[in-house]
Structure 1
Amino acid sequence: MKAQKTRSQEKIFHLLKTLARSLSAQDLYVELRRRKQTIGLATVYRSLEALKLQGVVQVRTLPSGESLYSLVQQDQHHLTCVHCGQSIPIDECPVHDLEERLEQSHHFKVYYHTLEFFGLCDRCHSLHREPLSN
């Protein structure tokens, strides 16, 4: 049985669906206010947490500590530069078979997963390449 969404959760769900991109809780709050939706920042955080627990919203935490929220539509995979913060989406996923095996062996319903690799993008790698020592 699915939990009934509150009005605040419905507003946030609709906004995430309309914008179709990941946003921080602060950005969601600002966008809701811009659209004349009266909702407090604490309510935005509570609603996002409830939607996450219902399995309809996923969260991705950046190296900076900022959390980005989006609707659960597909798994997310990224290459993220630890220097400039650039995040490059990737399509390949080596863990789908593992996910299915874990669901069966542990009787656990997986809503989504994230896979993120951290390193240096080509531009930052070129800028910070250290000369070879003799």
Structure 2
Amino acid sequence: MRTTRNRDNIFQIIETSSVPLSAYDIEKLSKTSLPTVYRALDYLLRTGQIKSFSLHQCSYYYSSSEHKHFFICSKCNHFFPIYDCFIEEYEKHLQRKMKIQIQEHFILFKGLCPKCLQQQEVDKR
């Protein structure tokens, strides 16, 4: 299947975003209809150009070109990228202990971002 202008545009939006995006985010950024966005996302997922995960009954999409993890604030729902990954040693341990082969991993941390944490402290006073 050939690539289209819409697919290229949606791929570029995801590729340049430092955080995962929902289909609705992509619709707004691409000024493309939601059905077209979903068709492009389906194609990009099937061809391995992007990855996705579901959270709170919503799917989020992110680039598969670089390894990163994410933090989501449980109060404001803002995503933050995490580029550091120190799990390789743990992966090796699990592979030896469980006699498995880990092909990839994904980590999503959830908590309070600095802004919401600061607001929480102000609200306590």
Q: Report the TM range for the smaller structure's normalisation.
A: 0.5 to 0.7
Q: 1:48 aligns with which of 30, 41, 52?
A: 41
Tell me the number of residue pairs that the alignment of Structure 1 and Structure 2 aligns.
115
The one-letter code sitting in structure 2 at the alignment partner of 1:96 is E
Corresponding residue number in structure 1 for 2:61: 69
Rg comparison, structure with higher value: 1
- Please report how far the alpha carbon of residue 50 of structure 1 lies from its aligned counterpart in structure 2 after TM superposition: 2.4
The structure whose residues are more often helix, as a share, is 2
Quote the offset at 1:124 in angstroms.
5.1
8 Å CA contact 2:68, 2:84 repeated in 1: no
Which residue identity lines up with residue 95 of structure 1 in the other structure?
I
Q: Percent identity?
A: 26
Would the alpha carbon gap of residues 96 and 47 (structure 1) be closer, same or farther in structure 2, given more than 3 Å must change?
Answer: farther
**Contact persistence 1:83–1:124 (CA under 8 A):** no
Residues 27-58 of structure 1: per-residue CA shift (max 9 Å, x gap): 3223333xxxxx54213112212211221112
State how far apart, in whole Å, the 2-side matches of 1:125 and 1:26 are: 29
Per-residue CA deviation, residues 61-118 of structure 1 (Å, 9 max, x unaligned), is: 455x44332321222223322122233333332333418x59x944x754xx421121
Find the counterpart in structure 1 of residue 3 from structure 2.
6
1:36 alignment partner in structure 2 = none
TM-score (normalised: structure 1): 0.59
After TM superposition, the score normalised by the length of structure 2 is 0.62
Given the alignment of the two structures, is residue 96 of structure 1 paired with residue 88 of structure 2, yes or no? yes
RMSD of aligned alpha carbons:
3.4
Query: Structure 1: where are the runs of 5+ without partners?
Result: 34-38, 130-134
Quick one: structure 1 residues 84 and 14, their matched pair in 2 at CA, closer, same or farther if it must change by over 3 Å? closer
